[in-house]
Structure 1
């Protein structure tokens, strides 16, 4: 398998960590959606990452789709999410909040960088409100959990998604993710980032130039 995309993307990083946790071998193409868009276009007409090229040539083009495939490949006993029931739905909800957080953090970054002379104040305020509300919701959720990870003693998709989103948000928007306001999330992020698999797949964020 070939994973396309840079690890400063919380979505690419999330997939890379899942691949390693599952023990799947893969090659990496650190292509940028800005500088290497045409290279990506040969595999994904949306020119987006992550893109995963399977050994048979099939291409998966969205992180949730990629992870769904990896879960199926790993099997229900090893999957990083429950196969069914309330725990699966809760995990999917937590992941949706985390990926939504990351998506809004990306949108806000692009607005401020690519339209730095005339950013839309309405859009900026909307993104900031969404980011703040999701951080508060995830903080409340994580603070109510006593176990090391979201669903017990074993790391899962929710843990990875939240940690990757938090790192990106913190790097992209200084002061938005506040350790004092969000202590449970800060503790969660520290626990995850200390793991070897997180240290293996990390790349400092360098904002795109307008």
Structure 2
């Protein structure tokens, strides 16, 4: 199976770390949806990262759906036996933090300075803080032993946000998340899956 997309995407990195935690063998192709658009489109015309090419050649997109597929073929799981609403809520908050960080990055980097819409940036920044405030309140739920999907997704989200919007979300404001993420980033599966 092939995982396609760059590890600076939290969605790609989330899947890659999960595959490693589950002991799944895969090839990673680090293609950018921007710089490698043509090459990426040869695999997936939609050019969506992450893209997973299964062993039978099926193209899967969206990190949550890819992880659902992987969990279905794996002998182990990174989710509780029953999907407790609190678990799904925490994963949803971490994914929302990723989404809002992406929106800020795109607004800042893809629009010229004079075309950036400040009310939109303020709204998205408020949403990003709301997600991290909830995650910080629930930081006692995160652990590296055993490392589950809530932990992987939250740690990956935090690292991504810190890489691209450290001026918006600071470790001083969310110290327990910062400490947890640092602990997770020191694990072998995270170290061997560095951001591109």
TM bin (shorter chain): over 0.9
**Which structure 2 residues correspond to residues 41-80 of structure 1 after superposition, within 5 A?**
41-75=41-75, 78-80=76-78
Once residues 180 and 11 of structure 1 are traced to their aligned partners in structure 2, the CA distance between those partners, rounded to angstroms, is 25
Choose the corresponding residue for 2:105, options 104, 109, 118: 109
Across the two proteins, how many residue pairs are aligned to each other? 195
Residues 1:177 and 2:169 aligned together? yes
2:28 aligns with 28
Matched residue SS, 1:17: helix
Matched residue SS, 1:180: coil
**Which structure 2 residues correspond to residues 1-210 of structure 1 after superposition, within 5 A?**
1-75=1-75, 78-86=76-84, 89-117=85-113, 118-142=115-139, 144-145=140-141, 148-149=143-144, 153-204=145-196
Task: Give unpaired runs (5+ residues) of structure 2.
Answer: none
Matched residue SS, 1:52: strand
TM-score (norm 2): 0.94
Once residues 97 and 9 of structure 1 are traced to their aligned partners in structure 2, the CA distance between those partners, rounded to angstroms, is 17
Once residues 41 and 90 of structure 1 are traced to their aligned partners in structure 2, the CA distance between those partners, rounded to angstroms, is 37
Shift of 1:85: 4.8
Shift of 1:56: 0.7
Task: Give unpaired runs (5+ residues) of structure 1.
Answer: 205-210
Conservation of the 8 A alpha-carbon contact between 1:19 and 1:25: yes
Once residues 148 and 114 of structure 1 are traced to their aligned partners in structure 2, the CA distance between those partners, rounded to angstroms, is 36
Matched residue SS, 2:34: coil
Conservation of the 8 A alpha-carbon contact between 1:166 and 1:177: no
Conservation of the 8 A alpha-carbon contact between 1:44 and 1:61: no
Write out per-residue CA displacement over residues 96-152 of structure 1, whole angstroms, 9 at most, x where no aligned residue: 11111111101110111111321011211111011111111100011x44x734xxx
Once residues 20 and 112 of structure 1 are traced to their aligned partners in structure 2, the CA distance between those partners, rounded to angstroms, is 33
Conservation of the 8 A alpha-carbon contact between 1:81 and 1:156: yes
- Give every structure 1 segment of 4 or more consecutive aligned residues whose post-TM-superposition deviation is greater than 3 Å: none
Note the aligned Cα RMSD (angstroms): 1.4
Conservation of the 8 A alpha-carbon contact between 2:22 and 2:74: yes
Once residues 14 and 6 of structure 2 are traced to their aligned partners in structure 1, the CA distance between those partners, rounded to angstroms, is 11
